[in-house]
Each structure stands twice: as C-alpha cells, then as structure tokens.
A and B are shown apart, each in its own frame.
Chain A
Amino acid sequence: MVPISLFLSLAAILFCIGLYGVLTRRHLVIVLASIELMLNSVNINLVAFSAIGPFANISGQVFTLFVITVAAAEAAVGLAILIALYRNRNSIDVIKHDLLRW
C-alpha cells in the first residue's frame, strides 16, 4: 500500500504549482486553470484521508463531491465573466484590468 504521506506531498506540490500560476500568470484562462488545479489537489487530500487515513470513513468522498460541484459552478461563472470582460475591454491580460486598483 502506498503510504499516505506520498499522496499528501503530491497534493502539496500540485497546490503550490497552482498557487504559483495564480500569482504570476497573465492570461486569465490560465489563472482559472490554476485555480482548478488547486481545488483538485484538495480533492486528492480528501480522498486519501478517506481511504487510508487514521479515521478512514466515507465522509471524505462525500466532501469531494461537494468540492467538485463548487468547482464546476466556479468555472462556469468565471468563464462567463471572462467572456463578458473580453467583450467590453478587448483584452484578457490580467495587468490591463486594474480599474478597481487602489
């Protein structure tokens, strides 16, 4: 059996790659993809603890279903905002959208 710490470290690596993408990429589609990557790594944690954790039970998989639901809703609304933004401002460069910047 694969030890749980390997699953946790894989999830940590994926989370940090996603975090780096959110902080530094300029293309808005890629920023949204990085957010999906971060949510996915959280799912790995939940399923790993649900299967081989100290108190293994089914709740982790149920929570994963809810996280997937929220991720799908977030992707739909985020891409809709992206399309509206591109139609109005003609750019999806993150740096150009600084109307609300202090």
Chain B
Amino acid sequence: MNTQMIFFIILALIAIVCAVLIMALERISHRVVSMAFSFFAVAGLYFLLGAEFIGIIQVMVYVGAITILFVFGMMMTEHRNVGFGPDPRKGQQILGFLGAATLLGVLLYGIFSMDLPTEQPYVGTVEAIGLELYGHYFIAFLGSGFLLTSALIGAVVIARKEVE
C-alpha cells in the first residue's frame, strides 16, 4: 500500500460519498455544495494521474464557474420547499434504480475481466497539450470557441425577461 494508493482511496471515497449525498440530502443548497466537493475530489484525482493542467481547469471551471452557476439557478427558482410531496411514480423510481444498478454491474464485470497491461505512467506536460490543441485539433478548438459564444448569447436571450 503505497502513498498514491492511500491518496486514491481517500479521494475516491470523497467523490463517491459526495455524489451519493447529492441524491440524499434534504436542502438544495446542501446538495450543490456537496456537488462542488465531489468535483474537487475529482480534481485531486487528476493531480494524482499527473495531469496538472486538467486538474487546474477542473477547479476553475467546475468548482468555480459551474457551481456558482448552479447556485444562481437555485436562488432564482424555488429552493425553499424541500420536497414536492408524494411521488406518483414509485415504480419508475425502482425501475431507475434497477437499471442503473444493472448497468453498474455490467460495467464492473467488463472492467475487471479486461486484461490491461500496466505500463510506465505517461506524464503529459502543458506544452504537449498546447501543441496538440493548436496542431491536430485546431478546427475543433475553433468550433469550441463558436460553441461557447453561441451558448453565451443563447443563455442571455433565453433567460432575459420578455419586453412587451
């Protein structure tokens, strides 16, 4: 049991427990905070894998931006009521749980029956990411720029108040 394994177990436990708490907690604000902690643990896993740039981006975009966005969305809608009353689709809940559990079982069976060779870890530097991003994936990079612009304009247009 080396140091990396211990860190992996701690971070994985935080990620899974916080992900379960998103489903289990009562208040919406607590759920959003739990989501932020789950993302933070995943960022720690990226650092563990030697992908520092992706880890920093994860902290900036997910923990910083998306969580704040969710807090805004929560504040602008109804966040005071805790439940919506009795659920009329009890059977669907059980079906959903069974479906997710079956998928998890199939995935875990596939993962552990797979024979992957263990190699020396590859450490990707930021320079390599930049060269690849502006080399092979330049068109996709431009496309993601267009996507972000259109998403920004679309969000503003959809969320503003209609003026008579």
Contact = CB atoms under 8 A, between A and B. Distances in A.
Contacts of A95: 84, 88-89
Chain B interface main SS type = helix
A20 B19 CA distance: 11
Interface string B31-52: 1100100110010011011110
A50 B124 contact: yes
| Interface range, A side | 35 or more
B22 A9 contact: no
Would you call the interface of chain A mostly helix, strand, loop, or mixed?
helix
Q: How large is the interface on B (under 10, 10 to 19, 20 to 34, 35 or more residues)?
A: 35 or more
B66 A62 contact: no
Contact of B54 (A47, A52, A54): A47
B144 A70 contact: yes
B119 A56 contact: yes
Contacts of A33: 22, 31-32, 35, 70
B51 A47 contact: yes
B112 A72 contact: no
B116 A80 contact: no
Interface of A: 1-10, 12-21, 23-30, 32-34, 36-37, 40, 43-44, 47-48, 50-54, 56-59, 61-62, 64-66, 68-77, 79-84, 86-87, 91-93, 95
